[in-house]
């Protein structure tokens, strides 16, 4: 239906939820690792790499841009 496997769809969905949480967070109080962990990402290096590939910037930069 979406052109990707169910597992990939869920991974992309979680990544989008992290992206929204980073945009909505207060950069003075929030940490990328806490937000990523909240959505089930345990390997933060891999998470950051995939995030950059999807959105063109690092999660920390997105958080600071708020």
Walk along the chain (66 residues) and give the pLDDT tens digit of each residue: 678 999 999 999 999 999 999 999 999 999 999 999 999 999 999 999 999 999 999 999 999 986
Q: What is the pLDDT of residue 35?
A: 97
Cα 35 from Cα 15, distance rounded (Å): 11
Q: What is the pLDDT of residue 9?
A: 93
> Do 8 and 16 touch, CB atoms closer than 8 A?
no
pTM: 0.89
What SS3 class is residue 59?
helix
Q: What is the pLDDT of residue 65?
A: 87
CB-hemisphere CA count at 13 Å for 11? 11
Q: What is the pLDDT of residue 15?
A: 97
Strand residues in 1-66 grouped as ranges (E)? none
Neighbours of 33 (CB within 10 A): 14
């Amino acid at each position: 239906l979406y052109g990707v496997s169910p597992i990939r769809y869920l991974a992309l969905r979680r990544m989008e939820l992290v992206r929204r949480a980073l945009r909505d967070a207060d950069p003075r109080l929030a940490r990328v690792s806490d937000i990523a962990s909240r959505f089930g990402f345990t390997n933060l290096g891999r998470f950051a790499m995939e995030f950059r590939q999807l959105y063109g910037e690092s999660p920390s930069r997105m958080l600071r841009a708020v």
